[in-house]
Amino acid sequence: MSRPVTLFTGQWADLPFETVCQKAKSFGYDGLEIACWGDHFEVSKADDAYCRKKRETLAKYGLKVFAIANHLVGQAMTDRIDQRHKSILPAYVWGDGDPEGVRKRAAAEIVHTAEAAKRLGVTTVTCFTGSPIWHLLYSFPPVTPAMIDEGYADVAARLIPVLDKFHELGILFALEVHPTEIAFDIASARRILKALNNHANFGFNYDPSHFGYQGVDYVKFIHEFSEKIFHVHMKDVSWSKVPVEAGVFGGHTEFGTLGRFWDFRSLGHGNIDFEEIIRALNRAHYKGPLSVEWEDSGMDREFGAKEACEFVKKVDFPSSNIAFDAAFEKK
């Protein structure tokens, strides 16, 4: 049986929730991964009646929900807070903008998100964490190992109480491994798991698009962390095979700028080998949704989202429960 194909609503938050439901159904999706911004899912309003109404709207269009996403608030839990965060946070989380206060309120809001997820009837929250050491990525002036150790210890101290609440509620925290987060490749993902003592409720929202242009083995990531793949984003990326003007760090250019080394692409239009990803997910016994996070600066999003849904349904396939040559064996 094929895995459900869902649409992540984060890039559609300019549209009302019911409109997104209508469009997702018409594009062929089985369900949604609902973002906690726009009017799609407002954590502060998510009492039993609110969650029931969301389920009714989904049912009206024959859609299911397997996860809710609160990346924007999650980013502030451990980050170096500045004016950028004000534009992505609810006013009650930003408050007076005092960095430590913002971080504490963000952590509390993520706990509230887990509580809301339980009321909605889902078991996974996809999220960011931010990072207090992302700015130390390039080691000049020289960064000492102790500075990095302190960063991971700080993140662990802030996240473990949140994860303990997730455990009490029976909700999984799926970090999207991504530049600017405490985990952005295999090595850093391994390190945060160790810092968190391999917390049972902490795992990953796997998204290959953030690995390919970095030169990270995105198939090995699945093999390495097979038991920690809690959710999967299907997103493509293209990167250049020849030297360009703006390299891996982007040259402070906007997405879609000519001359960039890499850019996100609609599924099937980039360099990611999705068949190998499906084979790896099959080996990992991942049975959850394949959630399309649609991003492509050069393509109409409705055309792209429909085509992406068709692409995922075509590329996904179940694993075999027998050896292909078993029929040759004599009984």
| The predicted structure's pLDDT at residue 18 | 98
CATH number 3.20.20.150 given to 5-328: yes
Give mean pLDDT in consecutive 10-residue pieces for the chain, a chain of 331 residues. Answer: 92 98 98 97 98 98 98 98 98 98 98 98 98 97 98 98 98 98 98 98 98 98 98 98 96 96 98 98 98 98 98 95 62 62
Using CA atoms, how far apart are residues 236 and 181, in angstroms rounded to an integer? 19
| The predicted structure's pLDDT at residue 321 | 75
| The predicted structure's pLDDT at residue 288 | 98
Q: What SS3 state is found at 203?
A: strand
| The predicted structure's pLDDT at residue 272 | 98
| The predicted structure's pLDDT at residue 7 | 98
- Total residues found in the chain within this entry: 331
| The predicted structure's pLDDT at residue 323 | 64
With 0-12 / 13-18 / 19 or more C-beta atoms within 10 angstroms meaning exposed / middle / buried, residue 136 is middle
| The predicted structure's pLDDT at residue 308 | 98
- Scanning the structure block, which residue is given the tokens 């269009």? 61
What's the whole-model pTM score? 0.96
